[in-house]
Amino acid sequence: MQILNLTLEESAEKLYLKIANAIRQAIKNGNASTGEKLPSARTLAAQLSVNRHTVMSAYHELEAQGWVETKERQGYSVAQTLPIYLSLKSNENLNDVSNKHQWRLVKTENNNLQRQASDYQFNFAGGNPDISLFPFNEFRSYVNEAMSRPQINELNYGNNNGFPAFITEVSTYLRRVRAIANKEIIVVNGSQEALYIISQILLKAGDKVAVESLGYRPAWNALKNAGAELIGVKQTKEGIDVEHLEQLFKQHKLRLLYLTPLHQYPTTTTLPAAQRIKVYQLAQQYNVPIIEDDYDHEFHYDSQPLAPMAANDPAGRVIYLSSFSKIMFPGMRLGIIAVDQSLAAHIVNYRTMINHKANVVLQDAVARWMKDGAFERHLRKATRIYQKRRQCMVETLNSFIAEGIELDFTVPPGGMTLWVNVGGNAEEIAKSAQENNIFLLAEKAFHLESKNDENKFIRLGFAGQSEDQITQGLSRLKPFLNRKD
């Protein structure tokens, strides 16, 4: 140990005893633990601006009391066994609950932290990318480049919108692949941060926000945290029921609309172009902004994905969110907001209260990765693999249907999951699956209002596991599924 933070008491005691007391206190507090090496007398003397012999006297005193041990040429260390009566006393203090600080929590969330999906042998959680497909070696070279040629100015405080080269790459990509232009890009630490900031700056307590009645709970939590009252829009086989949305607009003063139009979360249906236009017109008529959460745009298999609503947004009312969590991996914590210039500065200013900016080194590396075309190469590869996995899951489930098992589903044109009607007992099936080391969720987990739970659907993610794992996991699940007869 080079440095031990010591506080010398103000007293008339001799200096070496004050130093001994301070070291003893540090040991009692656990700042230096049993057996740990202590700073040399020379180091401590320099730190405290005292004579080295004074520190040595302090150490000798502590040695005599049994707090410190010394070994030839190895210097001083905390005794392996501390003086028993004192250590008992300090443990008593620690264990005495009445001594501990009682927090006054004014905002708290029950996150129900259970076993994580990734801890299960088979993980059919919906939106999991297969992280093992990520080209770590290739990406490392871009991180190396970012570190070898750092842009010193950008690594400092300031410019909270995002790293310019990254914004350039993302803008080009959004314009070319998703037809989004005329929006300002802000880089965030994942879409969740964006949802939180937008909720905070656009909503007041009691404001009504329309959301999909089956939907994405983390987004709802961010909206509710800003005081929003959530109102569920019914869903059809094609995403949200636009007629119901129109009724809601008439009945309530809606302030915001949160949607996942491309691959509706959790059902993976795609809202058709005509319906999107109606939604946009309603938003226009009632002057309401739309958050468009396009979290897994690239993973579309049968055709080009529909251009986002943000691509056709003359009024600048669509707040477009995109994430690198599926393209790369969730731990990357990189996302973007594409938004009208009139809102951009407000988002950036608010974000500065939470965190100055997103990680610049990673933005730099990803910008280089994108510029080289390696990013799109990875996307093409992952999309090809996910498409085969979707096929594998569809074929396996179809073979179950042929064997008399009750299942019904529509093959989604994209996304990472199937939304499967098991005819009933969905919750029981999910529970039995989890007891057998298979993670999946039933529809109950996604309802805004539990009264709408028909207990019929389960969600099966196909992207995150190999074809072998998919077939093995599903065959282990088979005995828990309902039979038609």
Ligand X SMILES: Cc1ncc(COP(=O)(O)O)c(C=O)c1O
- Residues making contact with ligand X (CB under 6 A): 127, 190-192, 216, 260, 265, 293, 295, 323, 325, 330, 335
- The least CB distance from residue 144 to ligand X, in Å, is 25
**Least distance (Å) between residue 9 CB and ligand X:** 49
Nearer to ligand X, 260 or 267 (CB): 260
- Select 296 or 313, whichever has its Cβ closest to ligand X: 296
Beta bridge partners of 458: 420, 442
Strand order in the sheet with 441-442: 417-421, 457-461, 441-442
Closer residue to ligand X, CB minimum distance, 335 or 464: 335
Look-up of token digits 């405080």: 157
With tokens 């739970």, the residue in question is 453
Handedness of CA 105, 107, 112, 117 (dihedral sign): negative
Residues 290 and 319: their CA atoms lie apart, in Å, by: 6
Give 125 or 397: the residue with its C-beta nearer to ligand X. 125
Nearest to 322 by CA among 373, 391, 403, 379: 379
Considering beta carbons, is residue 129 or 423 the nearer one to ligand X?
Answer: 129
For the bound state, the minimum distance from the C-beta of residue 216 to ligand X, rounded and expressed in Å, comes to 4
Taking the complex as a whole, the smallest distance from the CB of residue 225 to ligand X amounts, in Å, to: 15
For the CB of residue 195, give the shortest distance to ligand X in the complex, in Å.
8
CB of 401 to ligand X, least distance (A): 28
Least CB distance to ligand X at residue 329 (A): 9
* CB-nearer residue toward ligand X: 58 or 197: 197
User: 3-state SS of the chain: helix, strand, coil percent to 5?
Assistant: 45, 15, 40
- In terms of CB distance, is 56 or 233 closer to ligand X? 233
Rounded Cα distance between 385 and 391, Å, is 10
Residues 6+ apart with CB under 8 A from 460: 124, 393, 417, 418, 420, 440, 474
Give the separation between CA 339 and CA 315, rounded to whole angstroms: 11
Q: How far is Cα 306 from Cα 272, in angstroms, rounded to an integer?
A: 8
Minimum CB separation of residue 259 from ligand X in Å reads 10
> In this complex, which beta carbon is closest to ligand X, that of residue 116 or of residue 182?
116
Single-letter code of the amino acid located at 10: E
d(CA 440, CA 120): 10
